[in-house]
C-alpha cells in the first residue's frame, strides 16, 4: 500500500465509522432507543362496581299531628307519604349489585325488632365476568437494526389488542345487562314490600335515638358507604340514653315540619349538633314541600359512591 493510499484510508475510517453508527443506532443517551416512538393500542380491563352502599330509611309512626306538634299534617299523612317517597326513590338511586336497603319505624320503642318493616336486603352480586388475557406488548428494540422487526411486532400487537377489546366490550355489555335486570328485579320486590307496610299510629312517644341505634348497628355490620334518611319532625320524647356511632354516615331528614317556625329552626340546629357528636356528616333537612323522591335522591347522590 502506498503512502497516499494509507493517508486516504486513514481519513476515510472515521467517516465509515460515523456512517455505520448512524445506521445501526446504538443505545443512545441513558440506554434509550433511537427508533420512532410506537403507538401501542391501549388495553384496560373494565373495573369493578366500586364501594357498596347501605341505605337506611327511618319513618316516624309516632307522629300524632296533635295541637302541640303539627295539626297541618294529620295522621297518617307523614308515614304514608314517606313510604311512597322511599318506593319512588329506589328506581332513581343507581343501585348496583352489593348495595343494601333496610327500613324501620320510629316509635316509642324504636329499637324493637318488630319495628323493622323492611329487613336488610342486598342486591344480589352477579358472578364475576371472566375476561380473556390481554396481549403482551412487544419489547422495545435496542437499536435501529431491530426497528423494522419491532414495527411489525407493533402492528401485530395492535391488531390483537383491537380484537381483545372487542371481546371484552361484548362480555362487559352482557354483564351490565345482567346487572340491570338483577337491580330491576330487586327494586320491584323491595317496592312491593314497602307498599305493603302498614303503619300503626304510636301515641306513646317518639324514640329518635333508638331508631338511630338500629341504623348504627346495621351500618357497623356492613362495610362500605352508609346513607340514612329519616322522615320525622325530629321531636324526641322518650329520652333514650343510647348514643350510637354513625361513623361518617350521610344523613337526610325529610318531611321536616313543625308548625312553630322558631321551634323548627331551633330543632334543626340542635340536631345538626347532635349528628356531629354521633360522628355523622352534617345532615340535610328538607322541609315538607321540598321532600320529593328526586330531591331525596339528589342529596343521597351528592357525596358519590
The residue length of the chain stands at 305
Cβ atoms within 10 Å, residue 263: 13
As a whole-number percent, the residues of the chain with pLDDT over 70 amount to 85
Domains in the chain and their CATH numbers? 54-126+182-301 (3.40.50.410)
What is the structure's pLDDT at 275?
A: 98
- Tell me, yes or no, if the pTM score tops 0.95: no
In angstroms, rounded to a whole number, what is the distance separating the alpha carbons of residues 281 and 6?
89
Given a contact cutoff of 8 angstroms between Cβ atoms, the answer to whether 93 and 55 are in contact is yes
In angstroms, rounded to a whole number, what is the distance separating the alpha carbons of residues 286 and 252?
7
Q: What is the DSSP string of 15-84?
A: HHHHHHHHHH--S-GGG---SPPP-PPP--------S-EEEEEEEES-----TTS-TTS-TTHHHHHHHH
What is the structure's pLDDT at 70?
A: 65
pLDDT band at 69 (very low <50, low <70, confident <90, very high): low
User: What is the arithmetic mean of pLDDT over 271-295?
Assistant: 97
What is the structure's pLDDT at 68?
A: 54
In angstroms, rounded to a whole number, what is the distance separating the alpha carbons of residues 178 and 196?
27
Lowest mean pLDDT among 110-119, 126-135, 234-243: 126-135
What is the structure's pLDDT at 34?
A: 55
Q: What is the pLDDT of residues 147-173, one digit of tens each?
A: 888 889 999 999 999 999 999 999 999
pLDDT, mean over the chain = 86
pLDDT band at 49 (very low <50, low <70, confident <90, very high): low
Amino acid at each position: 500500500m502506498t503512502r497516499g493510499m494509507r493517508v486516504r484510508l486513514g481519513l476515510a475510517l472515521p467517516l465509515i465509522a460515523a456512517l455505520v453508527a448512524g445506521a445501526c443506532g446504538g443505545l443512545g443517551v441513558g440506554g434509550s432507543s433511537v427508533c420512532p416512538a410506537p403507538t401501542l393500542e391501549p388495553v384496560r380491563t373494565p373495573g369493578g362496581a366500586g364501594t357498596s352502599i347501605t341505605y337506611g330509611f327511618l319513618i316516624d309512626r309516632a307522629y300524632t299531628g296533635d295541637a302541640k306538634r303539627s295539626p297541618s299534617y294529620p295522621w297518617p299523612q307523614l308515614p304514608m307519604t314517606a313510604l311512597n317517597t322511599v318506593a319512588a326513590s329506589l328506581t332513581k338511586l343507581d343501585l348496583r349489585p352489593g348495595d343494601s336497603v333496610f327500613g324501620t319505624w320510629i316509635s316509642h320503642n324504636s329499637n324493637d325488632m318488630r319495628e323493622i318493616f323492611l329487613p336488610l336486603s342486598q342486591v344480589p352480586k352477579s358472578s364475576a365476568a371472566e375476561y380473556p388475557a390481554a396481549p403482551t406488548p412487544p419489547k422495545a428494540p435496542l437499536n435501529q437494526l431491530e426497528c423494522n422487526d419491532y414495527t411489525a411486532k407493533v402492528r401485530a400487537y395492535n391488531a390483537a389488542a383491537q380484537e381483545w377489546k372487542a371481546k371484552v366490550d361484548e362480555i362487559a355489555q352482557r354483564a351490565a345487562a345482567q346487572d340491570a335486570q338483577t337491580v330491576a328485579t330487586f327494586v320491584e320486590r323491595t317496592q312491593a314490600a314497602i307498599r305493603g307496610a302498614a303503619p300503626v299510629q304510636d301515641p306513646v312517644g317518639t324514640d329518635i335515638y333508638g331508631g338511630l341505634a338500629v341504623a348504627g348497628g346495621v351500618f357497623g355490620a356492613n362495610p362500605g358507604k352508609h346513607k340514612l334518611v329519616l322522615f320525622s319532625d325530629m321531636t324526641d320524647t322518650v329520652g333514650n340514653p343510647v348514643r350510637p356511632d354513625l361513623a361518617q354516615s350521610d344523613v337526610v331528614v325529610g318531611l321536616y315540619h313543625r308548625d312553630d317556625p322558631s321551634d323548627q329552626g331551633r330543632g334543626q340546629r340542635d340536631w345538626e349538633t347532635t349528628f356531629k357528636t354521633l360522628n355523622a356528616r352534617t345532615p340535610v333537612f328538607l322541609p315538607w314541600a321540598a321532600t320529593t323522591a328526586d330531591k331525596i335522591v339528589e342529596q343521597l347522590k351528592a357525596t358519590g359512591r
